[in-house]
Structure 1
Amino acid sequence: MEEQVERLVQKTWDKFQDAPASKRLMIAVSGIPGSGKTTLAAKVASKLNEKYCATHPGLQSYTSIATFLPMDGYHLTRAQLSAMPDPHTAHARRGAAFTFDAPAFLELVKKLRQPICPETCTIYAPSFDHAVKDPVAEDIPIARTARIIMMEGNYLSLGSGAPEWKEAAEMMDELWFVEVDEDVARQRLMKRHVESGIAANEDEGKKRADENDLVNGKEIMEGRLEVHEVIQSREDSGWKPEEQGIDRERDGGTPRV
């Protein structure tokens, strides 16, 4: 994985050098559940910040030029799911494209696409609180100095379903897609569900993966737009989220997006 990350970091860095100061470089990393897109996006963002600090010796080590932005916060709330015509299915399928607030996500992308100027204020995106099992509004700050936005989520290169997904994807500078063998994804998801307590055992974890996660994965694959990068995810130590301190636990059985 490290070789792939280094190549993508360098590619992004080179594009950043050519970007005008008034523009953010926006990259969306997508893939099916269990593909490792969260791990990849977080590592690229972290290494970009390391590179920026290394090339600007006077800066503090915590200075960030890249912001890692998961779309977890755009899950519909449990109350919104309960208000749907079929609340049982809505809760059971939490994590499917229709259980996200696509219009709100598009609105964030439009804000980030506005030119950066001295008057530009910090923009806030929602996060997801696993304790309360719902999004937290305006919890992730995106400062004016955040010139590279590394977004990650299942549906960031989706051209089908709600039109907002496609419109948001077309506003990105690059779309990256993490491909993974379905059996590898199934094993990762099964383990994730058991470790998080969503499933009591491996059989339940596999059932959850097959009946929700990989059903969503099929939609993601079939509706995928043309992307700039396809990254192969394999079962090696580089794809372990724990290395970046990434919380793998999800609410109600929904996969990390």
Structure 2
Amino acid sequence: MDEQVDRLVNKTWAKHQQTPLSKRLLIAVSGIPGSGKTTLAARVTQRLNALWLEQNAGLGSGPRMATFLPMDGYHLTRAQLSAMPDPNTAHARRGAAFTFDAPAFLELVKKLRKPLSAETRTIYAPSFDHAVKDPVAEDLPIAASSRVVVFEGNYLSLGTGAPEWKEAAGLMDELWFVDVDEDVARRRLIKRHVMSGIAANEEEAARRADENDLLNGRDIVEGRLEVHEMVYSREDDEWGPEKQGIVEERGG
């Protein structure tokens, strides 16, 4: 994994150096549930910031140049799911593309695409509170100093379904897709669901993976747009759920 991360960091750093000061570099990392996209996006962001600090040592603990931005916060709320024509299916399939607020996500991307200037202010994105199982509005800051934004989510290279997904993908500078064998993803998902307490045991976790996560995964693969980078996630500890720093109920 480290070799792939190093290559992507070097590529992103070089592209950032060539990007006008008035523009952000937007990168979208997508993949099926359990692919390891969160691990990849977080590590790339961390290493970009470490590299930036190395070259700007005098700035100490000042603002960073890269922001990691998961799309978990764009889950529809439980109340919104309950208001759908078929609330039982909506809740059971939470994590499918139709259970996300695609228009709101597109609005955020459009804000981040606006030219940077002295008047640019911090933009806030929603996060997801796993304790209450709902989004938290305006919780994740994207500072004016953030020149690179690394998005992470299942549907960031989706060309089907709600048109906002494809439009948002078209506004990105880079689309990366984390490719993984479905059996590997399934084993990771089972482990993750038990670790997080979403499932009481492996049998329940397997049912959740088969009846929701991997169904969504097939839609993601079948509807994927052409991407700039295919990243290959192998069956090793570096890509496992304990390395992702999250235990979640989500499809983002």
Alignment correspondent of 1:191: 191
1:146 equivalent in structure 2: 146
CA contact (8 A) 2:188 2:240 kept: no
Query: Residue in 1 aligned with 2:73?
Result: 73
Q: What are the equivalent positions in structure 2 for 1:43-192 lying under 5 Å apart?
A: 43-61=43-61, 63-192=63-192
**Which amino acid letter does the alignment assign opposite residue 177 of structure 2?**
F
- Counterpart AA for 1:181: D
The alpha-carbon deviation at position 104 of structure 1 amounts to 0.2
Query: Which residue identity is paired with 2:72?
Result: D
The change in CA–CA distance for 1:180 and 1:194 in structure 2 (over 3 A counts) is same
- Counterpart CA distance in 1 for 2:156 and 2:2 is 23
The DSSP-based 3-state class of the residue aligned with 2:158 is coil
Q: Are 1:49 and 1:63, in contact at CA under 8 Å, matched by a contact in 2?
A: no
Unaligned ranges ≥5, structure 2? none
Tell me how far 1:126 sits from its aligned partner.
Answer: 0.2
Q: Once superposed, which parts of structure 1, at least 4 consecutive aligned residues long, lie more than 4 Å away?
A: none
After superposition, the CA RMSD in angstroms is: 1.1
- Correspondence for 1:208: 208
The answer to whether the 8 A contact 1:125-1:139 is kept is yes
Q: Does 1:249 align with 2:241?
A: no
> Structure 1 residues 182 and 4, CA, compared in 2 at 3 Å: closer, same or farther?
same
TM-score of the superposition, structure 2-length normalised? 0.98
Match of 2:84, as an amino acid? M
Asked if 1 retains the 8 angstrom alpha-carbon contact of 2:24 and 2:113, the reply is yes
Task: Using the TM superposition, give the Cα deviation of residue 200 of structure 1 relative to its aligned residue in structure 2, in angstroms.
Answer: 2.0
Question: Aligned pair count?
Answer: 252
Structure 1's unaligned 5+ residue stretches are none
> TM-score, length-normalised on structure 1?
0.96
**What displacement does 1:113 show?**
0.1
Q: CA shift at 1:237, angstroms?
A: 2.4
Instruction: Identify if the C-alpha distance between structure 1 residues 21 and 225 changes in structure 2 by more than 3 Å, giving closer, same or farther.
Output: same
Name the amino acid aligned to 1:165.
W
- Code of the residue aligned with 1:211 in structure 2: it is E
Cα offset for 1:242?
Answer: 3.7
Q: How far is the alpha carbon of 1:87 from its aligned partner?
A: 0.3
Whether the 8 Å contact between 1:35 and 1:185 is mirrored in structure 2 is yes
